[in-house]
Amino acid sequence: MQVDTKLPEYLNDDFSMYLENMNSLADPENPDLLANYLLNLFEQLKEMPLLFSGMVDQLAMAISTKVRVDSKKLAKVDLSIEPSWSEIKPFVGVHADARACITEIMADAEQDLKTAILLIHFYNSYDSTPLKDEEENESEQLEDYELNDYDENY
């Protein structure tokens, strides 16, 4: 069961784009599409580490397979207000073949990197199950009541 994590307002727009991009590439008929796309993005990023400056959703996609975010520990940090890079950095591991690239991004585009890491964190704990509205819940409860054969003459 996934934990209900509320997305902070400062991430709404970037997360929406990231989620849309990731979902559009998750094709059950072509399961390698997303993996190949992410690999291609990272290869481009490796050649030009600042390629995605200002495009945080693309940066998050490019590094998503090259970083490990300890979401369990990061969830203990108050993310309702935007944290600094130093507050989330301890919860991020970087794959050996990405260290030089991530280090350059950290030096020249720390804000973008921090936001990309937060997008990955929230994406990893994102539950896409639609929430039922209150009216649906009430009608279901009524149906449950009607389906159970209660004896009203006890």
- Residue 27 in domain: yes
pLDDT of 99-137, one tens digit each?
999 999 999 999 999 999 999 999 998 765 555 554 555
Cα 50 to its chain centre, rounded Å, is: 21
- Residue 75 in domain: yes
- Which amino acid is present at 36? N
Structurally, the chain folds into a number of domains equal to: 1
Residue with tokens 């059950």: 28
Gap between the Cα atoms of 103 and 3, Å rounded: 31
Residue 36's pLDDT is: 94
- Residue 152 in domain: no
Among 125, 130, 120, residue whose Cα is nearest residue 1: 125
pLDDT of 51-92, one tens digit each?
999 999 999 999 999 999 999 999 999 999 999 999 999 999
Q: Is 140's pLDDT higher than 60?
A: no
- Residue 113 in domain: yes
- Residue 153 in domain: no
Among 111, 117, 100, residue whose Cα is nearest residue 49: 100
- Residue 98 in domain: yes
- Average pLDDT for 12-29: 92
Q: What is the DSSP string of 115-141?
A: HHHHHHHHHHT---PPPPPHHHHHHHH
- Average pLDDT for 30-36: 90
Residue with tokens 């209150």: 134
Report whether 88 contacts 118 (CB < 8 A): yes
- Average pLDDT for 22-26: 90
Cα 30 to its chain centre, rounded Å, is: 22
- Residue 3 in domain: no
Residue 28's pLDDT is: 85
User: Domain span at residue 89?
Assistant: 9-147
Cα 80 to its chain centre, rounded Å, is: 15
Backbone angles phi, psi at 9, to 5 degrees: -60, -35
